[in-house]
Amino acid sequence: MVADLDDVIRSKEAAGRPKDLQVLPLLYGHQATRSTQRQAELE
């Protein structure tokens, strides 16, 4: 079982621990890349 990236991000935001907050920029970047790729596939 693999968690959806959006769920992982929400979980880390809610936890608010320093180690979770530290990784959020990387996860946001990956989320943006995935969104851009999905948009391109739809065009």
What's residue 15's pLDDT? Answer: 98
Instruction: Give the per-residue SS3 of the chain.
Output: CCCCHHHHHHHHHHHCCHHHHHHHHHHHHHHHHHHHHHHHHHC
Split at pLDDT 50, 70, 90, the class of 42 is confident
What's residue 38's pLDDT? Answer: 85
- Chain-centre distance of CA 19, in angstroms? 15
> Which of residues 13 and 43 earns the better pLDDT score?
13
Annotated domain spans of the chain? 5-42
Split at pLDDT 50, 70, 90, the class of 30 is very high
Contacts 24+ apart (CB under 8 A), 35-38: none
